[in-house]
């Protein structure tokens, strides 16, 4: 592994300042479960690694009537331990997190790291997309927000500008009666990356039906199915999903198997979702 300097700044402002000074040679470390492997395999070669865990504000997890606010240093297991999250209306997200890697990995890995790593198979992303989650970003010219779907621009690519970091992810509280669900298909029963994953959200107050499919395209696919809210047409939803997904053949699955599994998961989620 190539050598690099390691620093743990004590605030978001200090991280932004060090990113600016390093001029593109620094990488951010949250849990490191993706980053360290990438450094080992020389995919990235930072001269400076900035640990986010020194900034206390990034470790804050908020859950109130307006929604969730998940800081960049919040580990995944905390989302499962916080009753307001795991027993609340964020079901698709907690289902995805509980299926993400193993308990030990989730004790280090963060939700924000899962999103900013921008892997097509990231499990948390389809639920965050249907839940309308937004990323709060800090950088040299202040703060801004982007929907999670817009933040991811390609395989391991984001729309973060030079010197920017995601400080937190905000998930607005779903309207009363909202149901959401997540399914993941993998090669083995134990922990494994998804060969395809799907999230579905049904919001009866706003008549919204949203589906997101991951691990098939470079960025997750979002389907707006509001038009069939009153009378869901499952096979039409399957056809719409299959029109949009562009899976690849790789060690995890063939194109055909991925497409077949997307269809199976869409049917299962529609069968699970309440009708009224």
Ligand X SMILES: Cc1cc2nc3c(=O)[nH]c(=O)nc-3n(C[C@H](O)[C@H](O)[C@H](O)COP(=O)(O)OP(=O)(O)OC[C@H]3O[C@@H](n4cnc5c(N)ncnc54)[C@H](O)[C@@H]3O)c2cc1C
Residues making contact with ligand X (CB under 6 A): 27-35, 52, 72, 100-101, 105, 108-110, 112-114, 116-117, 121-123, 160, 165-166, 191, 193
Smallest separation (angstroms) from ligand X to the CB of 121: 6
Smallest separation (angstroms) from ligand X to the CB of 69: 14
Smallest separation (angstroms) from ligand X to the CB of 194: 6
Angle between helices 234-244 and 255-272 (to 10 degrees): 150
Question: In this complex, which beta carbon is closest to ligand X, that of residue 4 or of residue 229?
Answer: 4
Question: In this complex, which beta carbon is closest to ligand X, that of residue 31 or of residue 220?
Answer: 31
Tokens 């060690």 correspond to what residue?
251
46, 39 in Cβ contact below 8 A? yes
d(CA 133, CA 169): 7
50, 27 in Cβ contact below 8 A? yes
Question: In this complex, which beta carbon is closest to ligand X, that of residue 91 or of residue 202?
Answer: 91
Question: In this complex, which beta carbon is closest to ligand X, that of residue 191 or of residue 267?
Answer: 191
State CA 187 to chain mean position distance.
21
Residue nearest to ligand X (CB): 113
Give the max Cα distance, the chain: 59
Smallest separation (angstroms) from ligand X to the CB of 191: 6
Smallest separation (angstroms) from ligand X to the CB of 178: 23
d(CA 263, CA 243): 11
Question: In this complex, which beta carbon is closest to ligand X, that of residue 76 or of residue 240?
Answer: 76
Pairing of strands 196-203, 208-214: antiparallel
């Amino acid at each position: 592994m190539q050598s690099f300097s390691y620093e743990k700044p004590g605030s978001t402002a200090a991280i932004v300042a060090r990113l600016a000074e390093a001029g593109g040679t620094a990488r951010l470390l949250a849990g490191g479960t993706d980053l360290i492997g990438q450094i080992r395999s020389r995919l990235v070669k930072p001269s400076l690694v900035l640990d986010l865990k020194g900034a206390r504000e990034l470790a804050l997890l908020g859950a109130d009537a307006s929604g969730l606010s998940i800081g960049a240093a919040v580990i995944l297991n905390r989302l499962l331990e916080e009753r307001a999250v795991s027993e609340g209306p964020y079901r698709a997200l907690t289902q995805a997190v509980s299926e993400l890697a193993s308990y030990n990995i989730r004790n280090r890995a963060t939700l924000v790291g899962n999103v900013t790593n921008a892997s097509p198979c990231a499990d948390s992303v389809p639920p965050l997309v249907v839940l309308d989650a937004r990323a709060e970003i800090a950088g040299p010219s202040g703060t801004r927000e982007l929907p999670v779907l817009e933040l991811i621009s390609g395989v391991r690519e984001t729309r973060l500008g030079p010197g920017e970091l995601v400080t937190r992810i905000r998930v607005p509280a779903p309207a009363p009666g909202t149901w959401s669900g997540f399914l993941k298909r993998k090669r083995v029963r134990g922990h494994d990356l998804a060969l395809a994953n799907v999230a579905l959200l049904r919001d009866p107050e706003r008549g919204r039906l949203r589906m997101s499919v991951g691990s098939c395209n470079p960025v997750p696919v979002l389907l707006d199915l509001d038009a069939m809210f009153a009378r869901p047409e499952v096979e039409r939803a399957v056809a719409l999903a299959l029109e949009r997904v562009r899976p690849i053949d790789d060690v995890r699955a063939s194109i055909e198997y991925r497409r077949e599994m997307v269809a199976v998961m869409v049917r299962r989620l529609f069968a699970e979702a309440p009708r009224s």
